[in-house]
Amino acid sequence: MKKPYYIDFPQEHVEGHMHKYRCAFCKLETTAINGTLEGHLADCEYRIEQEAKGYEALENSNKTTNYGTDEVD
Ligand SMILES: [Zn+2]
Protein backbone atom coordinates (compact mmCIF):
# COMPACT_ATOMS: atom_id res chain seq x y z
CA MET A 1 0.00 0.00 0.00
CA LYS A 2 1.30 3.40 -0.89
CA LYS A 3 0.36 7.00 -0.59
CA PRO A 4 1.26 9.40 -3.35
CA TYR A 5 2.72 11.81 -0.84
CA TYR A 6 3.88 11.47 2.71
CA ILE A 7 3.41 14.92 4.10
CA ASP A 8 1.51 14.31 7.30
CA PHE A 9 4.58 14.07 9.47
CA PRO A 10 5.24 16.55 12.27
CA GLN A 11 7.36 19.38 11.01
CA GLU A 12 9.39 21.99 12.77
CA HIS A 13 10.85 25.23 11.63
CA VAL A 14 14.54 25.29 10.77
CA GLU A 15 16.08 27.99 12.88
CA GLY A 16 17.44 30.89 10.94
CA HIS A 17 15.73 29.85 7.70
CA MET A 18 12.44 31.55 7.14
CA HIS A 19 10.94 29.08 4.69
CA LYS A 20 12.63 25.87 5.70
CA TYR A 21 10.95 23.10 7.61
CA ARG A 22 12.16 19.73 8.69
CA CYS A 23 10.82 16.49 10.03
CA ALA A 24 10.50 16.72 13.78
CA PHE A 25 11.81 13.18 14.11
CA CYS A 26 14.70 12.66 11.73
CA LYS A 27 15.46 16.37 11.26
CA LEU A 28 15.75 16.13 7.50
CA GLU A 29 14.49 19.12 5.59
CA THR A 30 11.18 18.80 3.82
CA THR A 31 12.88 19.69 0.56
CA ALA A 32 15.09 16.62 0.96
CA ILE A 33 12.22 14.42 2.03
CA ASN A 34 10.25 15.61 -0.96
CA GLY A 35 7.00 13.99 0.15
CA THR A 36 8.39 10.49 0.05
CA LEU A 37 8.66 7.91 2.77
CA GLU A 38 12.15 6.90 1.79
CA GLY A 39 13.13 10.52 2.07
CA HIS A 40 13.12 10.04 5.82
CA LEU A 41 15.88 8.27 7.63
CA ALA A 42 15.37 4.55 8.00
CA ASP A 43 15.05 4.97 11.75
CA CYS A 44 12.74 7.97 11.56
CA GLU A 45 9.83 7.52 13.92
CA TYR A 46 7.36 8.71 11.31
CA ARG A 47 8.71 6.38 8.64
CA ILE A 48 8.66 3.43 11.01
CA GLU A 49 5.10 4.29 11.98
CA GLN A 50 3.96 4.50 8.37
CA GLU A 51 5.65 1.24 7.52
CA ALA A 52 4.05 -0.34 10.56
CA LYS A 53 0.67 0.76 9.21
CA GLY A 54 1.39 -1.10 6.00
CA TYR A 55 2.69 1.73 3.89
CA GLU A 56 5.97 1.25 2.19
CA ALA A 57 8.69 3.28 0.67
CA LEU A 58 8.64 3.35 -3.09
CA GLU A 59 10.96 0.86 -4.59
CA ASN A 60 14.12 2.14 -6.11
CA SER A 61 12.96 2.86 -9.59
CA ASN A 62 15.61 4.53 -11.66
CA LYS A 63 16.59 7.15 -9.19
CA THR A 64 19.33 6.75 -6.69
CA THR A 65 19.93 9.80 -4.59
CA ASN A 66 19.10 12.97 -6.36
CA TYR A 67 18.26 15.34 -3.59
CA GLY A 68 18.25 19.01 -4.37
CA THR A 69 17.21 18.77 -7.97
CA ASP A 70 14.60 21.44 -8.29
CA GLU A 71 14.56 21.46 -12.06
CA VAL A 72 12.90 18.15 -12.73
CA ASP A 73 10.47 19.30 -15.35
ZN1 LIG B 1 11.44 11.90 9.35
Rounded to the nearest whole angstrom, what is the distance from the C-alpha of residue 30 to the centroid of ligand 1?
9
Alpha helix positions (H), 1-73:
30-33, 45-52
Residues that place a CB less than 5 A from ion ligand 1: 23, 25-26, 40, 44, 46
pTM, whole model, 2 decimals? Answer: 0.71
Of 69, 61, 4, 60, nearest to 35 (Cα)?
4
Rounded to the nearest whole angstrom, what is the distance from the C-alpha of residue 72 to the centroid of ligand 1?
23
Give pLDDT tens digits for 37-59: 999 999 999 999 999 999 887 66
pLDDT recorded at residue 4: 85
Mean of pLDDT values over 14-36: 95
Q: Which residue has the higher pLDDT, 73 or 2?
A: 2
pLDDT recorded at residue 44: 97
pLDDT category of residue 63 using cuts at 50, 70 and 90: very low
